[in-house]
Amino acid sequence: METHPTDSRAQITTMALLVTVISVAGCVQQPNVPGYSSPVTDPYASKRWSSPAFTTAHASFGDAAKHFLNVKPKPQQPIDFPHKIHTEDIGVYCQDCHTGVKTGPRAGIPSINICMSCHEDIGDPKDSRIQLLRDHAKRGEDMPWQRVYGFVEESHLRFNHSPHIRAGVDCATCHGDLTQMTVAERVVNHTMGFCIDCHKQKGASNDCLTCHY
């Protein structure tokens, strides 16, 4: 296993940051804060890269070490889904596919039925991606998309899209410009510093229990 000096440096920075935040904000546990007693059900839980922690889910010690060091594996998608074609070229809105984003915690990944509403007819039948899509649909199976963003279970984080969208925060602030991507890539690092800097700026809560449970 390799250890990267930057990893431990990052952890030290995090620790230092935490100490600062705790001493400045005087963080006290507030058990009476109405929390989400049970985290919202994640329909994609089984597809998250962060699924079960130190279990047989880690094929090797290397995987477990990567998980520990928070090195996120690059997702392996069944086909390259071209965001650019669908958003910039043909003008489908983000929210037409990620329908939950305005109303709830999760944006959601569209089911194959959404794809087939166009690709029943559209698309070169010789394109292997279109073939695979139609084959899955014929068998009544969904596409096994892997998660790009997400948190490890142990961080006990909750995130909610809808208040951010209502407050006018752009998708690109947290995900980069998907209209220029062929495949969704993790281009923004969702560290604690990233979240609390903006919360401080916009006057949103930086209470530990706003984000952690």
Q: Interface residues for ligand HEC in 63-92 (CB under 6 A)?
A: 70, 77, 79, 81-83, 85-87, 90, 92
CA-based nearest residue to 186, from 175, 198, 170: 175
Quick note: the x/- pattern for ligand HEC over 122-141, rule CB under 6 A, is: xxx--x-xx--x--------
Size of the site for ligand HEC (CB under 6 A): 82
Q: Are 77 and 145 in contact (CB under 8 A)?
A: yes
Selected from 118, 135, 141, 187, the binder of ligand HEC by CB under 6 A is 118
Binding of residue 147 to ligand HEC (CB under 6 A): yes
Sign, CA torsion 167/168/173/176: positive
Of 182-211, which residues contact ligand HEC (CB under 6 A)?
183-184, 190-192, 194-196, 198-199, 202, 204, 206, 208, 210-211
| 93 burial type by CB count under 10 A (0-12 exposed, 13-18 middle, 19+ buried) | exposed
Binding of residue 53 to ligand HEC (CB under 6 A): no
Residue closer to ligand HEC, measured from CB, 5 or 193: 193
CB of residue 64 to ligand HEC, shortest distance in Å: 15
End-to-end Cα separation, the chain, in angstroms? 31
Residue closer to ligand HEC, measured from CB, 65 or 208: 208
Stretch of 1-9, 57-65, 111-119, 134-142 lying at the interface with ligand HEC (CB under 6 A): 111-119
Residue closer to ligand HEC, measured from CB, 62 or 205: 205
Tokens of 199: 């919360």
CB of residue 170 to ligand HEC, shortest distance in Å: 6
Tokens 């071209």 label which residue?
Answer: 82
Tokens 């130190």 label which residue?
Answer: 54
Q: Distance between CA 160 and CA 35 in Å, rounded? A: 13
Of 11-50, which residues contact ligand HEC (CB under 6 A)?
18, 21-22, 25, 27
Q: Distance between CA 86 and CA 115 in Å, rounded? A: 11
Q: Are 143 and 199 in contact (CB under 8 A)?
A: no
Selected from 74, 117, 180, 187, the binder of ligand HEC by CB under 6 A is 117
Tokens of 1: 């296993």
